[in-house]
Amino acid sequence: MDLAFHAYALLFGAGLLGGFIDSIAGGGGLITVPALLWAGLPPQLALGTNKAQSSFGTAMSVSRYAQAGLVAWPEVRLATVLSFLGSMAGAYVLTLIGNDALKKVIPWMLLGVVVYVMASPRLGSTATRARMGVVLYSWVFGLTLGFYDGFFGPGTGAFWILSLVTLLGQELTRANAFTKVVNLASNLGSLVVFACLGHVAPWVALAMIGGQLIGARLGSGLVLKHGAGLIRGVFLAVVLTLILKLLWPA
C-alpha cells in the first residue's frame, strides 16, 4: 500500500506506543488499530495488518518474560495451542458474519472487570490457591478467549489476566507473562486466516514492527522492574479507556 513518508513515520510511532502499553497490561490495539484506519486501510485490512505487527511486539515481551523465568511452559502449553486454534476459528467467522452484537455487550463486561479489580486492592499481589485445574482452565479459556480474540479482540488481555488471578491464583506479573504467551498464539492464529484472505498490508506492518519491538522491550523492562503495582495501574487505565472507546459510538 502506497503511503506518504509522514504516514509511515506516524505508524512507526503508533507501533512503539502500542507495543509499550501492550507489554505492560494489554490494550495496544487502542493505539494501533485507529492509526491504521487513519492511514486509510479498510477495516479488514487494518485488523489483519494489526495482528501482523502486534505479533512481533508480543513475541518480544514473551522473550523478555521467559528469560526472567516468569513463563511456566508446561502450564501454558495447552492453553497456547487451544488459543491458536480458537483464534483461527474466530477470525474465519468474523469474515463471514461480522461482530456488531459484541460491541454492545463487551463494554459492560469490561466495566464489571474494573469494578472487581478496584474493589480488590490486593488482587494478584501474591499467589493464592487455584480454584480450577490448569488442564480444565486451558480448555475452557484457551478456546473461548482464543475465539474471542480472533472474532473481536478488545479486552482479551483483561479477561485472561482476571481469570488467571482469580481461578489459577497467579500473581499479576506471572499472569501477565502467561497472557502474553496465549495472546501471541491467538494473534498468530488469526493472522494465518487474515493472510490467507489477503488482509495484510506487508509494508505498513513492517513500518510498525520496528516501533513494536522497541516499545515492547521498554514496557516489559518496566514490568520486570516494578512488578504488580505497575501492571495494576496500567491495566485499569487501559480497560477504562477501552470501555469509553467502545461506548462512544453509542
Please report, for the chain, the start and end positions of each structural domain, with discontinuous segments joined by +.
5-247
Q: Are 45 and 95 in contact (CB under 8 A)?
A: no
pLDDT value of residue 5: 79
pLDDT value of residue 121: 67
Give the pLDDT confidence of 149-167 residue by residue, as tens digits: 998 887 888 889 999 999 9
pLDDT value of residue 144: 96
pLDDT value of residue 70: 95
pLDDT value of residue 1: 61
pTM of the model: 0.89
The string of DSSP codes covering 176-240 is: HHHHHHHHHHHHHHHHHHHHHTT---HHHHHHHHHHHHHHHHHHHHHHHHHTHHHHHHHHHHHHH
pLDDT value of residue 102: 62
End-to-end CA distance of the chain: 32
